[in-house]
């Protein structure tokens, strides 16, 4: 495989941005990084003292007995207290904490003082249902203010919460309730998505037929539609709220006490319950808000993720509110009622920091530049991307069309398991390269190795690992500690195996290539699907691409590409041949695709990730038997499976 990369261009931080940044030079970054590597206890202990409010201090910063770690053992604190109470003695008490916009256009602005009152009242509601520290709730809601209120109310009294994305089915919800053995479900009658009501309470009713641990269901009114309420079990949020007071002291929680459990897809089909702690998790979510987003008091910050994903936990609720940010929360779809909804919101609220996914960016590319061009985006000073590696073509568009060439772009790599951003530019310090996450943050000892744990040569693909524990790392899998050890720490003893393939270039920059199982072996060449996808979207006709390997009796695997096109009139036979040649020229003849399949849409989860696992099933059997509960539009799969291999 050629090591030449046509997009290894470097963009230094804008001088005026660097001059005001929290971390303003690469030398300052390297000094922080070296200190964290040399003296991790002193580094993280100092940050913990400065960045969080503790009720009792720790005995020891961390204790690492692989794969078990304890951070700030003996210390107590409360996540809700750090997100709310501590701001009430400062000028932030009257600052807007949440700017909420519903899809129909309704909106609310909630100050830190008001949010504290609402959270305290709902914490009292939960106590009134008998909940106490260590009990468990499931939160299944649309993106309305009651969602973060419920999260922070649970944290306030030490109740372990698990947010289930409001697009999940009753079956997916049931699996999570059963695994967590939750006592209470917090939901809503429904929410709005592309102008239609998404009913949530009926899905809860279906799920609870097989969930005997659930004693109470609390329902927020959003859409006002007729809702079946089971007497004794089901309660309207607003009715319970009238029965409680405004005062609810934050419960002192052990730093290692579980804060939340978040379920993520497992290769076996059974969701994995990722358990995050209170102290270490909150510390790293808070400091990365400042390092990565260069957060200032005057910023209006918008992360477009749903709270049902880890990005929503760390960078929509816990991190930003702990750091005292003004956070935008939007209920609906990015393209409703028109393609410019996101740009309207940025213009309306003068958003200065915008954090979204490469999938969304590629959709914006396909829709055309006229949509953002019709809005004033001059308030933006920083752009971010999260969820999967961003291909260089999308990076260039984001930089040029949205950032007008003056906004640093932070391409962040992290996982549900890591809890916080791990590899990312510091926007005032790190020169960026389109498609690269650049360098690990201070305290993150990342490496690219072979299966024996030996570092590979520069520009050679290997396995991305983390050699040393970090505060926000997950502590276990709920109810399955053996799977935790086997999946993440046994393949290379004593180090965390991320499951991602990566390479490091000659500058030490990390290029994450996707999941290890998204690496193909074509005629003896290891080829990442991400590399072929990046080559395809550099072609001017291609909007988005997904690549999978198909078993091949001669080459081991052949390359099959699913491609969506930008608007235009194309001869698909001619374009298919052209794209095969294009990939061969960009990467090498061995990478020439066997098939190019054109499609109107790709199968994606409701969070926007392409489900390559399902595409692999289609190319091998023209059918799908795997779990499709997270799929947004099942008809996309049906159409793809009906296509014939006539290429």
Instruction: Report whether 306 contacts 387 (CB < 8 A).
Output: no
In a domain, 14, yes or no: no
Domain count, the chain: 2
**Nearest to 621, CA basis, from 527, 532, 551, 574:** 551
The Cα 114–Cα 94 span in angstroms is 8
The answer to whether residue 313 scores a pLDDT higher than 90 is: yes
The Cα 556–Cα 239 span in angstroms is 63
For position 8, what pLDDT does the model report? 64
**Nearest to 83, CA basis, from 50, 55, 52:** 52
Average pLDDT over residues 615-638: 64
Domain that holds residue 199: 104-260
pLDDT band at 636 (very low <50, low <70, confident <90, very high): low
Domain harbouring 564, CATH code: 3.30.300.30
pLDDT band at 549 (very low <50, low <70, confident <90, very high): confident
Which DSSP category does 40 fall into?
H
Last residue of a domain, one of 260, 286, 301: 260
What number of residues does the chain have? 647
pLDDT tens digit sequence for 146-185: 999 999 999 999 999 999 988 888 888 998 999 999 999 9
In a domain, 201, yes or no: yes
pLDDT tens digit sequence for 66-100: 999 999 999 999 999 999 999 999 999 999 999 99
Burial class (CB in 10 A: 0-12, 13-18, 19+), 112: buried
> Quick one: tokens of 329?
């929360």
For position 587, what pLDDT does the model report? 76
pLDDT band at 533 (very low <50, low <70, confident <90, very high): confident
For position 359, what pLDDT does the model report? 81
The Cα 539–Cα 478 span in angstroms is 44
In a domain, 305, yes or no: no
For residues 46-84, b (16+ Cβ closer than 10 Å) or e, as one string?
ebbeebbebeeebeebbeeeebebbbbeebbbbbbbbbb
For position 643, what pLDDT does the model report? 58
In a domain, 29, yes or no: no
The answer to whether residue 11 scores a pLDDT higher than 70 is: yes
The answer to whether residue 640 scores a pLDDT higher than 90 is: no
In a domain, 120, yes or no: yes
Residue 250, SS3 per DSSP: coil
For position 555, what pLDDT does the model report? 62
Range name among 150-159, 435-444, 589-598 with the lowest pLDDT average: 589-598
pLDDT band at 271 (very low <50, low <70, confident <90, very high): confident
Count of other CB atoms within 10 angstroms of residue 610: 22
Last residue of a domain, one of 238, 260, 282: 260
In a domain, 532, yes or no: yes
Provide CB contacts within 8 A for 452, sequence distance 6+.
492
For position 530, what pLDDT does the model report? 76
The Cα 52–Cα 321 span in angstroms is 12
In a domain, 10, yes or no: no
Range name among 265-274, 303-312, 347-356, 537-546 with the lowest pLDDT average: 265-274
Instruction: Report whether 410 contacts 293 (CB < 8 A).
Output: yes
For position 86, what pLDDT does the model report? 98
Residue 508, SS3 per DSSP: coil
Q: What share of the chain is helix, strand, coil (3-state, %, to 5)?
A: 35, 25, 40
The Cα 418–Cα 285 span in angstroms is 10
The answer to whether residue 524 scores a pLDDT higher than 70 is: no
The answer to whether residue 410 scores a pLDDT higher than 70 is: yes
Average pLDDT over residues 365-369: 93
Domain harbouring 229, CATH code: 3.40.50.980
pLDDT band at 269 (very low <50, low <70, confident <90, very high): low
Provide CB contacts within 8 A for 249, sequence distance 6+.
none
The Cα 579–Cα 570 span in angstroms is 12
Last residue of a domain, one of 206, 231, 260: 260
Q: Report the DSSP pairing between strands 272-277 and 184-188.
A: unpaired
For residues 201-212, b (16+ Cβ closer than 10 Å) or e, as one string?
bebbbebbeebe
In a domain, 577, yes or no: yes
Could you tell me the sign of the dihedral formed by the alpha carbons of 494, 499, 503, 507, in that order? negative
> Quick one: tokens of 41?
């206890």
């Amino acid at each position: 495989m050629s090591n030449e990369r046509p997009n290894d261009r470097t963009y230094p931080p804008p001088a005026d941005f660097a001059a005001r940044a929290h971390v303003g030079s690469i030398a300052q970054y390297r000094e922080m990084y070296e200190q964290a590597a040399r003296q991790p206890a002193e580094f993280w202990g100092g940050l913990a003292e400065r960045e969080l409010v503790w009720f009792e201090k720790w005995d020891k910063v961390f204790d690492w007995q692989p794969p078990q770690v304890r951070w700030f053992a003996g210390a107590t604190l409360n996540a809700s207290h750090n997100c709310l109470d501590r701001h009430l003695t400062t000028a932030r008490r009257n600052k807007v904490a949440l700017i909420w916009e519903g899809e129909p256009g309704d909106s609310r602005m909630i100050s830190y003082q008001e949010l504290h009152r609402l959270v305290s009242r709902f914490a009292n509601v939960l106590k009134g249902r008998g909940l106490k520290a260590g009990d468990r709730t499931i939160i299944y809601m649309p993106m309305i203010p009651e969602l973060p209120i419920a999260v922070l109310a649970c944290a306030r009294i030490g109740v372990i919460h698990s947010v289930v994305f409001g697009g999940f089915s009753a079956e997916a919800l049931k699996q999570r309730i059963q695994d967590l053995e939750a006592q209470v479900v917090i939901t809503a009658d429904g929410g709005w998505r592309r102008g239609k009501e998404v009913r949530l309470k009926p899905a809860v009713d279906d799920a609870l037929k097989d969930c005997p641990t659930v004693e109470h269901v609390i329902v927020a009114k959003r859409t006002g539609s007729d809702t079946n309420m089971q007497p004794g079990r089901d309660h309207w949020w607003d009715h319970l709220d009238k029965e409680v007071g405004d005062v609810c002291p934050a419960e002192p929680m052990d730093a290692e006490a579980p804060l939340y459990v978040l379920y993520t897809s497992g290769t076996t089909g059974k969701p994995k319950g990722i358990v995050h702690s209170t102290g270490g998790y909150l510390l790293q979510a808070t400091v990365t808000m400042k390092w990565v987003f260069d957060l200032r008091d005057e910023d209006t910050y918008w992360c477009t993720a749903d709270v049902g994903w880890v990005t929503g936990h760390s960078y929509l609720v816990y991190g930003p509110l702990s750091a005292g940010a003004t956070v935008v929360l939007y209920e609906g779809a990015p393209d409703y009622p028109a393609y410019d909804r996101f740009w309207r919101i940025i213009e309306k609220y003068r958003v200065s920091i915008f954090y979204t996914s490469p999938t969304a960016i590629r959709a914006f590319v396909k829709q055309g530049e006229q949509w953002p061009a019709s809005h004033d985006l001059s308030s933006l000073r920083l752009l971010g991307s999260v969820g999967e590696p961003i291909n260089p073509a999308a990076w260039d568009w984001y930089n040029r069309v949205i950032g007008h060439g003056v906004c640093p772009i932070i391409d962040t790599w992290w996982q549900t398991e890591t809890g916080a951003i791990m590899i990312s530019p510091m926007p005032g310090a790190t020169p960026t390269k389109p498609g690269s996450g650049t360098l690990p943050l201070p305290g993150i000892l990342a490496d690219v190795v072979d299966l024996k744990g030996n570092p590979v040569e520069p520009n050679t693909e290997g396995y991305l690992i983390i050699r040393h524990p970090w505060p926000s790392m997950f502590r276990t899998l709920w109810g399955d500690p053996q799977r935790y050890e086997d999946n993440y720490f046994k393949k290379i003893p004593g180090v965390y195996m991320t499951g991602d393939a990566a390479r490091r270039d000659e500058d030490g920059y990390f290029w994450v290539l996707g999941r290890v199982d998204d690496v193909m072996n074509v005629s003896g060449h290891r080829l990442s699907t991400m590399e072929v996808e990046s080559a395809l979207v550099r072609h001017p006709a291609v909007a988005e691409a997904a690549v999978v390997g198909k078993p091949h009796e001669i080459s081991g695997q052949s390359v099959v590409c699913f491609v969506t096109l930008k608007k235009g009139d194309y001869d698909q036979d001619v374009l298919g041949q052209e794209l095969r040649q294009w990939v061969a020229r960009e990467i090498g003849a061995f990478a020439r695709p066997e098939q190019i399949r054109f499609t109107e849409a790709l199968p994606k989860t409701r969070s926007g990730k392409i489900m390559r696992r399902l595409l692999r099933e289609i190319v091998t059997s023209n059918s799908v038997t795997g779990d499709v509960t997270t799929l947004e539009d099942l008809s996309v799969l049906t159409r793809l499976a009906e296509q014939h291999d006539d290429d």
